[in-house]
Amino acid sequence: MTGRGRLRVLLGAAPGVGKTVTMLEEGRRLREDGRDVVLGFVETHGRAATAAMVAGLPLVPRTRIMHRGVALEEMDLDAVLARRPELALVDELAHTNAPSSRHPKRWQDVQELLDAGIDVISTLNIQHIESLHDAVEQITGVPQHETVPDSFLRGADQIEVVDLAPQALRDRLRGGLVYPPERIDAALSHYFRLGNLTALRELALIWLADEVDQALQGYRDEHGIEGTWEARERIVVALTGGPEGETLLRRGARIAARSAGGELLAVHVTGQDGLRSGDPADLAQQRALVEELNGTYHQVMGEDVPAALVEFARSVNATQLVLGASRRGRLAAALTGPGIGATVVRESADIDVHMVNHAAAGGRTTLPPLTGALTPQRRIAGFAIALLGGPAMTVLLAMARSPAAITTDVLSYQLLVVVVALVGGVWPALFAAVLSGVTLDFFFLEPLYTVHIHEPHHLISLILYAVIAVLVSLVVDRAARLARAARRAAAESELIQTIAGSVLRGDSAVQALIGRARETFQLSAIVLRREGEELARDGDPSLAGPSAAVPVGEHAAMELYGRDLAAAEQRLLAVVAAQLAVALEHRDLTRTARQIEPIAASDRVRGALLSALSHDLRRPLAAAAAAVGGLREAGPALGPDDERELLETAEESLAALGALVTDLLDVSRLQAGALRIGVSPTDPAEAISPALEELHLGPDEVGLGLEHGEALASADPVLLQRVLVNLLANAHRHSPAGVPVHIGTSTFGDRLEIRVIDRGPGVAEDELEDIFLPFQRLGDTDNTTGLGLGLALSRGFVEAMHGELRPEDTPGGGLTMVISLPLAPDRTERPCGS
């Protein structure tokens, strides 16, 4: 056998999806086709279906390695190499070999098999891929210590995802097909939660899609294919560094989201010298937004922006381009040629181009300036029309020159002056009037080719040219001012409407108001302070010095950083200040209400306590008093049995009374923060055993499943025992007759968990948190068991030990109480489900 072997990896999102069974099925099929197949290593995990698939396949015996007195079984690499099969089935690619093995990791064993020319089929879970183990830990809370390098995995000849719907996997787990019964509840509540499995499944499919995409790109590069293959939607958003970038990015993200697996890329083109165009602050914010939208940011250099954009889009096999609509007017476009958008559309060929009108899409609102009705661009355009239109009209009129056409000549030049006035305003119009008058006199009035005003009506004509130009310019300027005033009024109305809506949103109104005001007035930053304390800010004050301070109510003020505001803008800012004062008052009232709420809750607790005392303390007091009174009145006439019964009644009643008083004192200490906690490394088994003895619960009444190994919890042993007594008593009381309570322990991440499971009626989901309120029994009508403080105290004790006590539904019916405690230092164990 020559050449390197082929590697096929069966990838799963989680344990139990069927990777090993799929591997064995493929091995059996290939063996039936006549190939030499052996089992190098297979792990059944005690699953009957997997064990049944092993039968009939040749198995290379495992090697036994002694480590610290324990015999560990590993794949016998030398035996497989000596056997030299065509195909070896090797389970659990990420497995860590026993010490003294030739290779520390099983994937290295597989690499040696491949180098020897042996084909290999192996299995792997997504959490064991090196580049993904951090993401998996963030999703599941389970750290991974066994990983396979991406470089090795991406070198595989074939990778397949063995897929199973998350709910189907949970059903398999619940049916005992993945883990033994004692591990099912913990696994369902942690690693195998529906959300976890859905996220892991998506992660596996995305990783495989990236792998397929790299293979596709390699094929295109190898064969010199430059056209776009729409195997996967890639949306490229072109950023100019302007404020419209956020709108474009969000539009691109929506397009990518509508196509399953779509990829978002943002690109900014800079000049060859590396200097950026646009606002660096805006680009920095947009880059952060790209990362929030799960996209990637790219920067390319190129003097020809459209060509650079199209070239980048083709290099990443993009299917769609998103650009902002040009902000140039039609006249400017006609004078300077097509813009970036039009050029990209022409050169994009098979790449779809989206032109987004960012202003209409809701970009930042800014108030139009109060001065300069006509923009400098319009003035420049007016001068350009005068300079270019005058000579062009002179040529046309000279070609049709005749003594009778002088009227036409005059009106033609007058039309040019009006057009220039409409476009550029008064100064370009005056320039056009003078230029037209001189040109008319030089080319069309006798004597020709001289500028000589020898008759009064020629001078009057020139003056009329100028007057008409000024009048038309004034009309245009006034119309422009009115239009700008109308836009400003609309912007002010929008701002005031937004302000009014922001005040109704509560605590977020303050930040929303100053953020909207900063954007509207184009300031570098706004800082809101009250009596020296900074309440909120928007923007970076270090970018510009302070320009003004605006009072907000009686004790607060807005510090403005950036440009000076005009009088009309200051009036509008006063509206913002007034609404900010209302928002601050609303926030202060809300905080006051929150401060009063615990006092009201405490009053409710005291009321409930008085009610409970009047009821629950009365029974043991009455019973003890009756027993003692009976002993005193009967005296010597009382028989030994009756005397013993009365004494037992008094003793039980006084003991119950003492327990109630102890609970009340504990509640008081918890509320006052005076409970003393002695946290130390604690074995939960040492707290479970005395708790069972205290409750006189035997093996028939309690089932144990202790799987925490040598892990120790950071806990107070005495308090932990009291918590377990309360939980076990409740679970035993609510479990059906003859059905035992189950106690299980396990580790999960850096936590040790104790689960007390009953098969009783359970608790409705909307009442789960109510069971922890003091003096609450919900549907429990047994008034002989205390004040209803047991669960309230238990949660208080656990939280005092920096733990958590939470209720969960028991699969199949019932209630599970979970005690989650931090692991003792340096005793962290691997979690279940890993």
pLDDT tens, position by position, 105-114: 999 999 999 9
In this structure, is residue 428 part of a structural domain?
yes
Whether residue 141 is predicted with pLDDT greater than 80 in this model: the reply is no
Sheet with 741-748: strands ordered across: 702-706, 741-748, 751-757, 815-822, 804-809
User: For 482-496, what is each residue's pLDDT tens digit?
Assistant: 766 666 565 555 555
Whether residue 386 is predicted with pLDDT greater than 60 in this model: the reply is yes
The pLDDT value given to residue 110: 93
Looking at the structure, do residues 184 and 53 belong to the same domain, yes or no? yes
Band (383; pLDDT cuts 50, 70, 90): confident
Ranked by mean pLDDT, which of 56-65, 67-76, 482-491, 513-522 comes out on top?
A: 56-65
Any idea what the CATH number is for the domain that residue 293 is in? 3.40.50.620
Ranked by mean pLDDT, which of 72-81, 350-359, 606-615 comes out on top?
A: 72-81
Band (507; pLDDT cuts 50, 70, 90): very low
User: For 799-822, what is each residue's pLDDT tens digit?
Assistant: 878 889 888 888 777 888 899 999
Helix (H, G, I), strand (E, B) or coil at 388: helix
DSSP H or E segment with residue 395: helix 376-399
Q: How large a percentage of the chain has pLDDT more than 70?
A: 73
In this structure, is residue 209 part of a structural domain?
yes
| pLDDT (mean) for 157-169 | 85
The pLDDT value given to residue 600: 64
User: For 329-338, what is each residue's pLDDT tens digit?
Assistant: 554 455 445 6
Q: Which residues contact 723 (CB under 8 A, 6 or more apart)?
A: 794, 797, 798, 805, 819
The pLDDT value given to residue 323: 86
Looking at the structure, do residues 667 and 684 belong to the same domain, yes or no? no
Alpha helix (H) residue ranges in 55-97: 77-83
- As a whole number of angstroms, the distance between CA 395 and CA 391 comes to 6
- As a whole number of angstroms, the distance between CA 692 and CA 676 comes to 24
| pLDDT (mean) for 384-392 | 84
Looking at the structure, do residues 803 and 700 belong to the same domain, yes or no? yes
Band (7; pLDDT cuts 50, 70, 90): very high
Place of tokens 């086709």: 33
Q: How large a percentage of the chain has pLDDT more than 90?
A: 9
Q: For residue 198, what are the domain limits? A: 7-221
Sign of the C-alpha dihedral computed for residues 169, 174, 179 and 185 taken in this order: positive
In this structure, is residue 828 part of a structural domain?
no
The pLDDT value given to residue 767: 75
Looking at the structure, do residues 19 and 139 belong to the same domain, yes or no? yes
- As a whole number of angstroms, the distance between CA 559 and CA 546 comes to 7
The pLDDT value given to residue 343: 79
The pLDDT value given to residue 373: 58
Looking at the structure, do residues 34 and 179 belong to the same domain, yes or no? yes
Q: Where is the domain boundary, 650, 672, 694?
A: 672
Q: Which of 246-250, 347-351, 679-683 has the lowest mean pLDDT?
A: 347-351
- Please classify residue 83 by burial: count the beta carbons closer than 10 Å to its beta carbon, then call 0-12 exposed, 13-18 middle and 19+ buried: middle
Q: Which of 271-280, 455-464, 775-784 has the lowest mean pLDDT?
A: 775-784
| pLDDT (mean) for 392-402 | 79
Q: Which is more confidently placed, 802 or 474?
A: 802
The pLDDT value given to residue 361: 42
Band (664; pLDDT cuts 50, 70, 90): low
Looking at the structure, do residues 560 and 441 belong to the same domain, yes or no? no
Q: Which of 297-306, 388-397, 557-566 has the lowest mean pLDDT?
A: 297-306
Looking at the structure, do residues 691 and 817 belong to the same domain, yes or no? yes
Looking at the structure, do residues 707 and 665 belong to the same domain, yes or no? no
Place of tokens 């539009």: 251
The pLDDT value given to residue 84: 92
**What backbone phi and psi angles, to 5 degrees, belong to 125?**
-95, 150
The pLDDT value given to residue 90: 93
β-strand pairing of 70-74 with 63-67:
antiparallel
Helix (H, G, I), strand (E, B) or coil at 454: coil
The two three-digit tokens of residue 505, written as one number:
């949103």
The pLDDT value given to residue 72: 81
Q: Which of 299-313, 341-355, 598-612 has the lowest mean pLDDT?
A: 598-612
Q: Which is more confidently placed, 375 or 89?
A: 89
**What backbone phi and psi angles, to 5 degrees, belong to 55?**
-60, 135
Orientation of helix 426-444 relative to helix 456-503, angle to 10°: 160
Band (785; pLDDT cuts 50, 70, 90): very low
Any idea what the CATH number is for the domain that residue 806 is in? 3.30.565.10
The pLDDT value given to residue 792: 73
| pLDDT (mean) for 336-352 | 72
In this structure, is residue 289 part of a structural domain?
yes
User: For 116-129, what is each residue's pLDDT tens digit?
Assistant: 999 999 999 888 88
Q: Where is the domain boundary, 565, 593, 626?
A: 565
**How many C-alpha atoms does 31 have within 13 Å on its Cβ side?**
18
Alpha helix (H) residue ranges in 400-425: 406-424
Q: What is the DSSP string of 158-175?
A: EEEEE---HHHHHHHHHT
Place of tokens 């409409």: 422
In this structure, is residue 374 part of a structural domain?
no
Looking at the structure, do residues 212 and 245 belong to the same domain, yes or no? no
Looking at the structure, do residues 175 and 269 belong to the same domain, yes or no? no
Looking at the structure, do residues 509 and 636 belong to the same domain, yes or no? no
Looking at the structure, do residues 735 and 657 belong to the same domain, yes or no? no
The pLDDT value given to residue 308: 82
The pLDDT value given to residue 610: 52
Q: By the 8 A CB rule, do 44 and 76 touch?
A: no
Number of domains in the chain: 6
Orientation of helix 640-672 relative to helix 567-616, angle to 10°: 170
In this structure, is residue 587 part of a structural domain?
no
Q: By the 8 A CB rule, do 487 and 366 touch?
A: no
The pLDDT value given to residue 271: 58
Q: By the 8 A CB rule, do 60 and 78 touch?
A: no
The pLDDT value given to residue 491: 56
Q: Where is the domain boundary, 546, 565, 584?
A: 565
**What backbone phi and psi angles, to 5 degrees, belong to 788?**
75, 30
Whether residue 788 is predicted with pLDDT greater than 70 in this model: the reply is no
Q: Which is more confidently placed, 364 or 279?
A: 279
User: For 665-714, what is each residue's pLDDT tens digit?
Assistant: 555 555 555 456 678 899 998 889 888 887 888 888 898 888 888 889 99
- As a whole number of angstroms, the distance between CA 214 and CA 173 comes to 35
Q: Which residues contact 209 (CB under 8 A, 6 or more apart)?
A: 232, 261
Q: Which of 230-239, 415-424, 564-573, 774-783 has the lowest mean pLDDT?
A: 774-783
In this structure, is residue 104 part of a structural domain?
yes
pTM of the model: 0.41
The pLDDT value given to residue 801: 83
In this structure, is residue 381 part of a structural domain?
no
| pLDDT (mean) for 73-101 | 90
Q: Which is more confidently placed, 719 or 17?
A: 17
Q: Which of 106, 161, 121, 156 is nearest to 31 (CA)?
A: 121
Helix-, strand-, coil-residue percentages of the chain, each rounded to 5: 55, 15, 30
